[in-house]
Structure 1
């Protein structure tokens, strides 16, 4: 793959193949990402997974619109983070489609950038939540309808449950026996569907990040200050309760999302409180009252829904998320469902931080 990238992809972006070093970057579940360095520059190169993102041109167009809007905000001193945006090809395109050899795009690389996989203290959680809130606040005046839905109904709990029901009914890979207890748990959560049906019509459409994992906020390794929000692939119109929920999902557990140590997977109350403080410090005056009320619902829905997606992929034969060993998606699902159960058990303690 490295030789292919160097010889056939990099020239499209004006990078001299013989002078370039190419190395894998990050641990994303979907796309293949590389750091490219040469004597006069550096960039991040990605091969977009077109099985997941079936309209990759829409993806890069969305990212371009968001980066352009944030750049304008920077120029007027309304956005204090660095902007990560697309780099154009030699033909001034936002990406290059090599057909059977993949759809490739490049984005600027930020020196001194550092990401973490697990939040270790309240300061890290507060900084990241504040950064994601700042990102959303800066985009609050961007008409969300100008963005295309790169994955239709991405955060749609009824649809995700329906996909799980189909996977269960088919059980193509004969895996149901290994996870039937988790399947039963999911199907018992019908009350969430009712809550969603009641509040969703009152929520405004916003430009949402839709993947606010802790490793999508870059710290500056020199002082661990917030540097940039990255991975704009799933930026679409939606409801901010899901952005809040994904922070809760990826910040609050002391374990990574595929940890098998379920006895250690739980929501850390102090980290949850820091998320609320950081996020609302930037968005408190932007959110409607209904949006503020929806945040607790968003936390529960996202933890359950990501678990459903992992479980569905396990039953379907691991066709969506990259796995590294047998039953990897089942382990991820069990992890997320355990975190969801921890949320429910601490509802009284956690909801006080919205007041």
Structure 2
């Protein structure tokens, strides 16, 4: 792969390929990401997964529009984070489309950046939630209808459950017996579908990040201050309850999302409280009352829905998320469903932090 990048991709960016150093970067589930360094520059290069992102040109156009809006806000001191921007090819294009050999795009690399996979303190949770809230606030005057839906119905729980039902019916790889209890849990959660149907029509469309995992907020490792929001691939129009919910999903557990130590997987109340404080400190005057009331629903939906997606992929033969061992997606699903159950068990106390 690295030899291919050196010989076939980097020439489009007019950099000296002989001395370029290329190394894998990050631990994303979907795209292939590399750090490219040469004598007088560096950038992040990504090979987009076009099985997941079937309209990659729309993706890079979306990211460009958002970056341009945020750069304008930063210039007027209305956005304080660093903006992740596309690096154009020598011909001024946003990406390199090599057909069967991949779709490649570059973005600026941020020196001194640092990411984490597990939140270890209230301060980390607060600063990251505040940064994601700041991102959403800066985009509150951006016309979300400008963005194409790169993955239609991305956060659509009824559709995700329908996909699970199809996977259960097909059971192509004879895996159902390994996860029947989790399947039964999902199918027992009919009330949340009705709640979604009632709430969603009351919410305004916003520009949403749609993947507010803790490792998509970069810290400045010199002082651990918030540096940048990254990974704009799934930025689309939608409802902010899902962004809030994904923070709850990825911040509150003391374990990584694929940990098999389920006895340790739970929602840490103090981290949940810090998320609420940080996010609402930036969006308190932006959110409508209906939006604020929807945040608790978003927390529950995201834990359940991501579990459903992992479980469906397990049944379908691991065709969506990268796996590193057999039953990896099943381990991820069990982790998320355990976190979901912890949310339900603590509902009364956790809801007090929205007041």
**TM tier relative to shorter chain:** over 0.9
Return the offset for 1:14: 1.7
Q: Distance in 1 between matches of 2:131 and 2:227?
A: 8
Counterpart position of 2:305: 305
Q: Distance in 1 between matches of 2:282 and 2:310?
A: 32
1:190 aligns with 2:224: no
Structure 1: runs of 5 or more not aligned: none
1:77 aligns with 2:77: yes
Structure 2 counterparts to residues 26-175 of structure 1, below 5 A: 26-175=26-175
SS in 2 for 1:18: coil
Q: Distance in 2 between matches of 1:13 and 1:304?
A: 42
TM-score scaled by length of structure 1 = 1.00
SS in 1 for 2:44: strand
Structure 2 counterparts to residues 212-231 of structure 1, below 5 A: 212-231=212-231
Return the offset for 1:77: 0.3
Runs of 4+ in 1 over 4 A off after TM superposition: none
Q: Distance in 2 between matches of 1:58 and 1:19?
A: 32
Q: Distance in 2 between matches of 1:136 and 1:236?
A: 12
Query: How many positions carry a matched residue from both structures?
Result: 355
Q: Distance in 2 between matches of 1:250 and 1:14?
A: 38
1:323 aligns with 2:323: yes
Q: Distance in 2 between matches of 1:143 and 1:228?
A: 22
Q: Distance in 2 between matches of 1:321 and 1:334?
A: 15
TM-score scaled by length of structure 2 = 1.00
Q: Distance in 1 between matches of 2:127 and 2:39?
A: 34
Return the offset for 1:11: 1.0
Return the offset for 1:347: 0.2
SS in 2 for 1:19: coil
Q: Distance in 2 between matches of 1:120 and 1:15?
A: 40
Counterpart position of 1:294: 294
1:263 aligns with 2:244: no
Counterpart position of 2:254: 254
Return the offset for 1:13: 1.2
Structure 2: runs of 5 or more not aligned: none
SS in 2 for 1:15: coil
Counterpart position of 2:273: 273
Counterpart position of 1:241: 241
Q: Distance in 2 between matches of 1:150 and 1:144?
A: 13
Return the offset for 1:58: 0.2
Return the offset for 1:292: 0.2
* Structural RMSD (CA): 0.3
Return the offset for 1:138: 0.1
Return the offset for 1:19: 1.5
Cα-to-partner distance string for 1:4-28 (whole Å, 9 max, x where unaligned): 1111101111221101000000000
Return the offset for 1:302: 0.2
Q: Distance in 2 between matches of 1:143 and 1:301?
A: 25
Cα-to-partner distance string for 1:117-163 (whole Å, 9 max, x where unaligned): 00000000000000000000000000000000000000000000000
Q: Distance in 2 between matches of 1:68 and 1:185?
A: 43
Q: Distance in 1 between matches of 2:331 and 2:68?
A: 39
